[in-house]
Amino acid sequence: MSISLDKNSQNAIFVSMKKTIPFDNTDCNSIRNYLIKNQLEWTYDYSEEQNEETAFFFFAGTHKGKEVIFDVFLVPLSIHYMALAEEMADQEVQKLFPEYQGYESIDKLSEMKMEEIWEKKAEIIAEIEAEGDLKVQEFIEIDDSEIDEAQSDLMVLLTVALNVDEINKEVIDKFVKEYKTNTLQLDENLYSFSIEDDLD
């Protein structure tokens, strides 16, 4: 049985959902005030899905002598490795199947053709893993390109990959503490990981 909602009901549900987000995730002052009010070192970005493989969160700190809010996307290094392997395999598959132009072209191809493409992609990823040429290391990518020096309300984007089994509160606590105290030491060793063949 399907349930249809009129426009007023839909709007009411949307407003209710918005109320569950305790701050404006696009406003630095809103985030900072929430952190101060609740005596928090960091807070999840409640508009994003959080799990053991990804975390989106904010914390306050300084960057180039300015008070900023760091907007962080944090993943285990193994997930970063998997993403790179899939990207490499996707590029190779597009050479073999010109009609396939990435995920946006899936709906344009037959189920049989897509099955053939997925099988080939799985083979390529297995080859990448077996050859062991793909290596990754912990990193922090800083994007402050949107900062206007005249602004007082600044947000810096951090993309981070750490060699941990999963992302949890303890991992985030440690990262934020070490980043803010300038004691964070990234592991410079290179790693490969095992990837399951199931790409679905």
pLDDT in tens, 121-142: 999 999 988 888 899 999 999 9
Residue 3 lies in a domain: no
Q: What is the pLDDT of residue 189?
A: 96
**Lookup: tokens for 183:** 């004691």
Ordered alpha helix ranges (H), the chain: 7-19, 28-37, 77-96, 111-131, 169-180
From 46, 51, 22, select the one nearest 34 (Cα to Cα): 22
Pairing between β-strand 66-76 and β-strand 155-162 as defined by DSSP bridges: parallel
Per DSSP, the three-state class of 62 is: strand
Residue 173 lies in a domain: yes
pTM: 0.79
Cβ-in-10-Å burial (0-12, 13-18, 19+) of 1 comes to: exposed
Residue 87 lies in a domain: yes
Q: What is the pLDDT of residue 180?
A: 96
From 12, 18, 120, 24, select the one nearest 69 (Cα to Cα): 24
Residue 88 lies in a domain: yes
Digitized pLDDT (tens) for each residue of the chain, 200 residues in all: 333 344 444 444 334 444 468 899 999 999 999 999 999 999 999 999 889 899 999 999 999 888 999 999 999 999 999 999 999 999 999 999 988 887 777 778 888 989 999 999 999 999 988 888 899 999 999 998 766 555 556 899 999 999 999 999 999 999 999 999 999 999 999 999 886 644 44
Task: Give dist(CA 23, CA 11) in Å, integer.
Answer: 19
Residue 11 lies in a domain: no
Q: What Rg value do the Cα atoms of the chain yield, rounded?
A: 21
Residue 174 lies in a domain: yes
From 18, 139, 200, 25, select the one nearest 33 (Cα to Cα): 25
Domains identified in the chain, total number: 1
CB 26 within 8 A of CB 18: no
Residue 18 lies in a domain: no
Residue 5 lies in a domain: no
Q: What is the pLDDT of residue 2?
A: 35
Ordered alpha helix ranges (H), 132-191: 169-180
CB 175 within 8 A of CB 50: no
Range of the domain at 178: 25-200
Task: Give dist(CA 167, CA 53) in Å, integer.
Answer: 6
Q: What is the pLDDT of residue 163?
A: 97
